């Protein structure tokens, strides 16, 4: 499997960063350019253990459907989402959060494998790794922008944001 590892420093509390990273509302905002929309599962708010969401998005001019599930969840330090159905042979995204002085370090470990054997491996290394790295970097920039400003309050409204939720 191909691995992408990213680290993002965010000047905001760990709970806020953790919740923004699992917000389907913020995900939709961060992926507007791909015309991402929810086609099933959690439609608004924060995902938790065993929740699923089905996304439809356009990448490379092709409409894709991908369903993922939260398979691990340790608030506010980590969660894992895993592809249940979709275009990859396998896809796992581990999210880690660490408090450090006045900021949160958000670490992404994103693993993916395309179908079609050697052709898929070549596509992963020559095209998809760079494309997905840019996509994840853009998404992390949106999380950072919302977390460091006041916009997070629009996404994590008081009726949805529950810092003591396990």
Q: What pLDDT does residue 117 have? A: 87
Architecture of the domain spanning 2-155: 2-Layer Sandwich (3.30)
Under 8 Å between Cβ of 38 and 55: yes
Q: What pLDDT does residue 74 have? A: 97
Domain boundaries defined on the chain? 2-155
Q: What pLDDT does residue 161 have? A: 44
88: which residues sit within 8 A by CB, 6+ positions away? Answer: 66, 112, 113, 114, 115
Report the predicted TM-score, pTM, of the whole model to 2 decimal places.
0.92
Q: For the chain (length 166 residues), average pLDDT per consecutive 10?
A: 97 97 94 90 95 95 95 97 97 97 96 92 93 97 96 78 44
In eight-state DSSP terms, residue 23 is B
Q: What pLDDT does residue 158 have? A: 57
């Amino acid at each position: 499997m191909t691995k992408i590892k990213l680290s993002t420093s965010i000047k905001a509390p760990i709970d806020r960063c953790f919740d923004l990273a699992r917000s389907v509302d913020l995900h939709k905002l961060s992926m507007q350019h791909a015309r991402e929309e929810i086609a099933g599962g959690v439609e608004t708010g924060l995902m938790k253990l065993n929740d699923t969401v089905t996304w439809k998005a356009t990448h490379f001019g092709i409409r894709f459907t991908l369903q993922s599930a939260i398979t691990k969840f340790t608030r506010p330090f980590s969660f894992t989402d895993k592809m249940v159905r979709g275009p990859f042979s396998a896809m796992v995204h581990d999210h880690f959060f660490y408090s450090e002085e006045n900021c949160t370090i958000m670490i992404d470990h994103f693993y993916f494998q395309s179908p079609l054997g050697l052709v898929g491996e070549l596509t992963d290394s020559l095209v998809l790794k760079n494309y997905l790295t840019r996509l994840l970097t853009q998404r992390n920039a949106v999380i950072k922008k919302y977390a460091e400003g006041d916009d997070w309050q629009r996404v994590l409204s008081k009726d949805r944001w529950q810092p003591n939720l396990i």
